[in-house]
Structure 1
Amino acid sequence: MNWAALDWSILGPALAAGLLVLVTHVPLGMQVLDRGIVFIDLAIAQVAGLGVIAATAMGLPDGGIAVQAAALAAALLGAWLLTWTEGRVQRDQEALIGVLFVLAASAGLLLLAGNPHGGEHLKDLLVGQILWVSTTQLLWLGGVSAALVFALWRGWAARWGRFGFYGLFAVAVTASVQLVGVYLVFSSLIIPALATRRFGAAARLPVAYALGAAGYAAGLVLSAVFDLPSGAVIVCALAAIGLGVALSGRR
């Protein structure tokens, strides 16, 4: 245990990144549960990750605008595909989402097969690099989050039909997956929404946000003190706090 490892010049921006992710992912996660398509986040995040891998394989600089565009294009293509399938084979939508996830993950592995740093690159996509978030990344994520919250508040997703929800979802996931990774994207979407499902409408959103913020804060502190991978510890912290919240909300 090393309390001296609590360097807030590193943990502070990481916590800010987590809170920005929660701003959009908590309400989107509630919609995901209501629609019964829980694994859409994993699938779209994996497709966005495939876009990053493909762009990197073509020699584009990591973190550049071209890579971001490739990730967004891939995610929107996945969103369009799921919109198309929902309109035709809705009964099998959840299964098709799982197939899309497996295909995107397998394609990513194939693209990384000849890369000597492929394992490290794949790990970064899965667990993220939240401790090394930059000011530029925070500003970019903040701008995207503000635009998405405005779109959700104005009800644009509903006005744009089936693709409205999937498209906004794709943008939100693309904005977060390269910072926090696929696992934390899933956890940020599902755990707060699931843990507060029995709460009343007025209390549910504030409690879900508080749960998410506490999970990120506790996970970052514990990962620093015990020198453990931040993404994995945050996931466990979210799950533990979510369980407590869920039990307290049972009637």
Structure 2
Amino acid sequence: MNSIEFDILLPAFIAGLLVLATHIPFGMRVLQRGVIFADLAVAQIAGLGVVIAGLLDLTEHPLLVQLIAASSALCGAALLAWIERRLPEVKEACIGLTFVLSATLGILLMSHDVHAGEHLKDLLVGQILWVSNSQLIATAVLTAALLAIWKLLRQSLGNFGFYALFAIAITASVQLVGVYLVFASLIVPALATHRHLKRRYLFAFTVGIAGYAAGLLFSVWLDLPTGAAIVWALMLCGGGMLFAPKQH
């Protein structure tokens, strides 16, 4: 690996670690609550906010883009909290439908944009190889704040409190790594370690870190799309952990 590749891969790997720091505990809670599609729905709604900001020609104003994306995600969080409270027996169906509606609305909004295909691809698979130092610093500060709130208040968070923290975390990560990798980062480590009650966090972070590292390396060595390569690397690492001897 030459120095140029290392200079590209190191920020991408750091971005992955920041995503995992919040997404592993949130992913475990998502599995516990039985709202698997919630992350996809919130990620897509946050992405919809980014699309709207682009249509308003605000891409040169990153703070406004973040504000619109976060506002969209918080609206999505409020909707999901309402669904879980009012329609618990069909919440997964409603959350899945919310994802589909927000995804197709994004397509409709971009239908007259000649670069729509490129923008849609960036939204779904991300551009993790091109994260900037300013993005990493802002995400690190946000991650530290979210983890502090989670540690102090997680036992007392209601439905909306959980979904609001969840939405803010996803708003940042979906712009770093894309919708697909957000979903994989939330679900794969949590699912792979659901049988390992002892040292579960250690095993989950091992899966996540190994998946990001392997995916980044293989994407460079084999000239593969990075986001998709990391998703598959996470799945392979998670599969190995899932079928490992059970820890009590």
Cross-structure match for 2:187 = 190
User: How has the CA–CA distance of structure 1 residues 203 and 6 changed in structure 2, closer, same or farther, with 3 Å as cutoff?
Assistant: farther
SS in 1 for 2:223: coil
Residue 89 of structure 1, CA deviation: 1.0
Q: 2: distance between equivalents of 1:110 and 1:164?
A: 31
1:90-129 to structure 2, matched below 5 A, reads 90-129=88-127
Cross-structure match for 2:12 = 14
Q: Larger deviation: 69-78 or 156-165?
A: 156-165
Residue 157 of structure 1, CA deviation: 4.1
Residue 129 of structure 1, CA deviation: 0.6
Residue 160 of structure 1, CA deviation: 3.8
Aligned residues: 247
Cross-structure match for 2:245 = 249
Residue 124 of structure 1, CA deviation: 0.3
Q: 2: distance between equivalents of 1:29 and 1:216?
A: 16
Q: 2: distance between equivalents of 1:6 and 1:209?
A: 27
Question: Do the aligned partners of 1:29 and 1:189 also contact (CA within 8 Å) in 2?
Answer: yes
Q: CA deviation digits over 1:131-185, x for unaligned, max 9?
A: 000110000110111011111111x244242111100100010010011000000
Cross-structure match for 1:150 = 148
1:17-166 to structure 2, matched below 5 A, reads 17-61=15-59, 64-154=62-152, 156-166=153-163
Cross-structure match for 1:234 = 230
Q: 1: distance between equivalents of 2:212 and 2:58?
A: 32
Contiguous gaps of at least 5 residues in structure 1: none
Q: CA deviation digits over 1:72-92, x for unaligned, max 9?
A: 000000000111121111111
Q: 2: distance between equivalents of 1:5 and 1:51?
A: 36
Cross-structure match for 1:212 = 208
| Aligned partner (choices 175, 178, 182) of residue 172 of structure 2 | 175
SS in 1 for 2:80: helix
User: How has the CA–CA distance of structure 1 residues 63 and 215 changed in structure 2, closer, same or farther, with 3 Å as cutoff?
Assistant: farther
SS in 2 for 1:60: coil
User: How has the CA–CA distance of structure 1 residues 38 and 63 changed in structure 2, closer, same or farther, with 3 Å as cutoff?
Assistant: farther
Question: Do the aligned partners of 1:198 and 1:249 also contact (CA within 8 Å) in 2?
Answer: no
SS in 1 for 2:243: helix
* Divergent runs of 4+, >3 A: 3-6
Q: 1: distance between equivalents of 2:82 and 2:183?
A: 23
CA RMSD of superposed structures (Å): 1.4
TM-score by length of 2: 0.96
SS in 2 for 1:159: coil
Counterpart of 1:245, as a letter, is M
Residue 249 of structure 1, CA deviation: 3.4
- What is the identity percentage for the equivalent residue pairs of Structure 1 and Structure 2? 53
Contiguous gaps of at least 5 residues in structure 2: none
Q: 1: distance between equivalents of 2:95 and 2:11?
A: 33
Counterpart of 1:127, as a letter, is V
Cross-structure match for 2:199 = 203
User: How has the CA–CA distance of structure 1 residues 118 and 239 changed in structure 2, closer, same or farther, with 3 Å as cutoff?
Assistant: same
Q: CA deviation digits over 1:83-119, x for unaligned, max 9?
A: 1121111111111100100000010000110000000
Q: 2: distance between equivalents of 1:61 and 1:211?
A: 35
Q: 2: distance between equivalents of 1:249 and 1:52?
A: 43
